[in-house]
Amino acid sequence: MNTNRHFYPLLLLLLLLSGCTSEIVPPATLELADYTTIDFPIQGGEREVAVETNQTEWTAVSGASWLVIDQRANTVILKAAPNSMIEQRQTYVLVSTGGLSRRIDVTQMAEKSTLNLTGEALLVPDGEGGAREVRESQFGGTVSLDVLTEDPSWSCEVAEGASWIKADKVTLGSKLLITIAENSERAARMGIIFVRTKDQSIKLNVRQEGTLYYLLPLLTPESTKEQVKDFEEARHSRVVQNASYLSGGAHTYHTVSPLFYEIKYSFDRRNLREVVMQCQTASEMLDDEFTKLLEAAGFEYKADSGMERVFIKKVIHNGTTYEIFANLAYGLPSVEPKVVFNIMKRQQGPMPTFDHLPDGIGEMNLSRQQVLAWESTHGGTYSDRNSNREDGYYFFDVLDKTYIGRDYLFKDDKLVNMRIFTYDISKFFYSPARGTFKMTDEFKDLLQKEGFTETRQTGDIWERFYINRARKMAVSARVTSFATVLSGQPLVVMLYIPFEED
């Protein structure tokens, strides 16, 4: 039997079967060592991520240009550039092989934004922690501030309870536009605006004055009509009389204040010398609120006669010392309540005065015979030409070193009025401006020394009397002239009258 006939076909079959069998390939694997997210600081940096795979080839792709990939054998290195933007940024890295992918989320922190406000209307507090502030008058208006920030998405918001404030963002030029409505209430008010970026915030206080009620005029020495006009128009006063002359004149304004409704400014040539504020009610003029306003402006309380209250302020302007008198007239007969401000140059140095007050016979309520007897022994010469006996008026020429003359008025044979005419104006007054005279410190001291310690305003040409209660007399003095005395040359006349207790 031939066995080779069956062996060779079998061997051929086995060879064929062995050629049809392929190698078995394991499935692909891909893992990243512990990282699913990576956070980079602002300044950037590098991070290594181990790649575990059974594949010989793999790829890593960055989703942003700021994140660079360095692929090595079993490692991917992530290189983040510094972040100069104000926004946090994010991207990813995709690692792929064998149909598998793994994602690494990457985040990088951003610089903090900067935020600041600037503008002429902005008040910046001293030190840290204080809120910035905008102040507005009662009349309201619009304020524009520059917003300095790199964040174009900054916002503004008015805090609750300040509906009278409107805040708008103006993108062009990055400005904050604040609109403030008029305040019709006496009380001042405050609101808050918040300006914010993504991570910064500024608190802006908005303060608005209440309705103008208590006010002061412009009192700067040497102020001109034009400066007064600008000052009053800025607070919405309305001129109702403009009486300007080469020698001075006066401007009268109606104010928005219901209390001090009218202000009259008087000028000596071009410069301010007197201001009169008419007042609606005397009681409110004497209120503590107005007193505090005067004191805040530098005035000091001096006296109260029961009819007027006096405050004085000293100020140096352009090297010259001035005194500003504020006389609150609240009880003068037939005079409406008002505040009279007088702006006077202070005397520039000591001035001489009398050793003793020129007071003639020195008493009131004397009889005619007593006065005539006294004059006969004190240099008086009766002037029939200047006297009028029927009216009880007697004039005596004296013409000594002190007196030019003295005159007397009698009623029911009692002395009720005595005038003394004297030469030397400079012993009583100095002249702060042409045609005006102010009592010297030395003469005022003499009045005090001789008991004339109280003052009372009159509202007439005498302006003010000095009172000596012990002697029951009051005296005033002024510069004037009479055609019948010294041929009309300027002189001082002193007026003595009886003073009766109220």
Q: How many helices, marked H, and strands, marked E, lie in the chain?
A: 6, 35
Which long-range contacts (C-beta less than 8 Å, at least 24 apart) are formed by 365-374? 365/414, 365/415, 365/416, 365/472, 365/498, 366/414, 366/415, 367/413, 367/414, 367/415, 368/392, 368/394, 368/410, 368/413, 368/415, 371/408, 371/410, 371/415
Q: Report whether pLDDT(248) > 80.
A: no
Q: What percent of the chain has pLDDT over 90?
A: 68
What's the rounded Cα separation, in Å, for the pair 357 and 492? Answer: 13
Q: Provide the 3-class DSSP secondary structure of residue 44.
A: coil
| Residues sharing a CB contact under 8 Å with residue 141, sequence separation 6 or more, in sequence order | 179, 180
pLDDT computed for residue 262 by the predictor: 96
What's the rounded Cα separation, in Å, for the pair 51 and 70? Answer: 13
Q: What percent of the chain has pLDDT over 70?
A: 92
pLDDT mean over 43-59: 91
Hey, what domains does the chain have and what are their CATH numbers? 30-108 (2.60.40.10), 115-208 (2.60.40.10), 225-345 (no CATH), 368-498 (no CATH)
pLDDT computed for residue 10 by the predictor: 56
pLDDT mean over 447-459: 91
Give pLDDT tens digits for 30-48. 998 866 789 999 889 999 9
0.85 exceeded by pTM: no
| Residues sharing a CB contact under 8 Å with residue 267, sequence separation 6 or more, in sequence order | 224, 225, 244, 248, 249, 250, 251, 273
Q: Provide the 3-class DSSP secondary structure of residue 343.
A: strand
The mean pLDDT of the chain is: 89
Q: Determine the straight-line distance between the first and last CA of the chain, rounded to whole angstroms.
A: 175
What are 251's strand-pairing partners?
A: 242, 265
Give pLDDT tens digits for 374-397. 999 999 999 998 899 999 999 999
Q: Report whether pLDDT(13) > 60.
A: no
Q: Provide the 3-class DSSP secondary structure of residue 399.
A: coil
8 Å CB contact between 375 and 396? yes
pLDDT computed for residue 256 by the predictor: 93
What's the rounded Cα separation, in Å, for the pair 36 and 47? Answer: 13
pLDDT computed for residue 305 by the predictor: 85
Residue 269 — φ and ψ, nearest 5°? 55, -105
Give pLDDT tens digits for 154-191. 999 999 999 999 999 998 889 999 999 999 899 999 99
Q: Report whether pLDDT(316) > 60.
A: yes
pLDDT computed for residue 130 by the predictor: 65
Output the DSSP codes for 116-155.
EEE-TTEE--SSSSPPEEEEE-TT-EEEEEEEEES-TT-E
Give pLDDT tens digits for 112-158. 888 999 999 998 876 555 679 999 999 999 999 999 998 888 999 99
When mean pLDDT is compared across 10-24, 281-295, 487-501, the lowest value belongs to: 10-24
pLDDT mean over 384-413: 92
pLDDT computed for residue 232 by the predictor: 95
